[in-house]
């Protein structure tokens, strides 16, 4: 798994991310099915494509409701890519890795 991940990470780096550091923030609300799925899907995706150069911050809005306003969050779950620029938002449980790639302008590792 780790070798495969590394290989794919390398591919991704070669593609267009230039080894930038990814700062991701996932907004959830408690432990709903959608939120749990989103955390799981995001972790899997990052391990696969951005291993070693990402940071995931999971924010539970039930604990920090103020952040919903500050960060303009309506839908749950919402994933925000703070870095690299530009800021991107993806809503949903991130069940499709393919759509994530498109959403983050990542080229598929295995063409």
Partner 1 sequence: MAKTNGKGSIAKLPKALTGIHGLDEITGGGLPRGRPSLVCGGAGCGKTLLSMEFLVRGAVEQDEPGVFMAFEETPEELAANVRSLGFDVDKLVEQKKLFVDHVVLDTGQIEENGEYDLTGLFIRLGYAIDAVGAKRVVLDTLETLFGGFQNQAILRAELQRLFRWLKDKGVTAIITAERGDGTLTRQGLEEYVSDCVILLDHRVSDQVSTRRLRVVKYRGTAHGTNEYPFLIDEDGFSVLPITSAGLNHVASSERLSTGIARLDAMLGGEGIYRGSSVLISGTAGTGKSSLAAHLARESCARGERCLYFAFEEAESQIVRNMSSIGIDMRPLIKKGLLRFMAGRPTSTGLEMHLALMHRAIREFQPRMVVVDPISNLAEAGLLRDASTMLTRLIDLLKTEQITAVLTSLTTGAQREQTDIGVSSLIDTWLLLRSIELGGERNRGLYVIKSRGMAHSNQIREYLLTPRGIDLLDVYAGADGVLTGSMRLAQEARERADEEARAREADVRRRSSERRRAAIEAQIAALRAELEDEESAERRAQTGERERVARASHVRNEMARSRKADAVKGSSSNGRGSARTGARN
Which is nearer to partner 1, 55 or 95 (by Cβ)?
Answer: 95
Residues in contact with 37: Cβ distance below 8 Å, sequence separation at least 6, in sequence order: 93, 94, 95
Q: How far apart are CB 64 and partner 1 at their closest, in Å?
A: 9
Nearest distance in Å: CB 96, partner 1 = 5
Q: Cα separation of 49 and 46, whole Å? A: 5
Neighbouring C-beta atoms of residue 74, cutoff 10 Å: 8
Q: How far is the CB of 2 from partner 1 (least distance, A)?
A: 26
Contact present, 41 and 93 (Cβ < 8 Å):
yes
**68, two tokens:** 């919903």
CB of 11 to partner 1, least distance (A): 22
Q: Would you say 9 or 77 has its CB closer to partner 1?
A: 77
In the complex, the residues that contact partner 1 under the rule CB under 8 A are 27, 29, 32, 34, 37-38, 41, 61-62, 65-66, 68-69, 72-78, 87-96, 99-100, 102-103
Query: Among 25, 13, 40, which Cα is nearest to 87's?
Result: 25
């Amino acid at each position: 798994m780790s070798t495969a991940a590394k290989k794919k990470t390398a591919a991704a780096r070669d593609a267009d991310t230039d080894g930038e550091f990814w700062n991701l923030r996932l907004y959830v609300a408690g432990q709903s099915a959608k939120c749990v799925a989103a955390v799981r899907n995001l972790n899997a995706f990052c391990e696969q494509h951005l291993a070693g150069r990402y940071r995931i911050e999971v924010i539970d809005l039930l604990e920090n409701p103020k952040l919903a306003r500050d960060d303009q969050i309506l839908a749950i779950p919402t994933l925000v890519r703070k870095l690299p620029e530009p800021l991107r938002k993806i809503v949903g449980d991130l069940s499709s890795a393919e759509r994530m790639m498109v959403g983050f302008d990542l080229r598929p590792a295995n063409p």
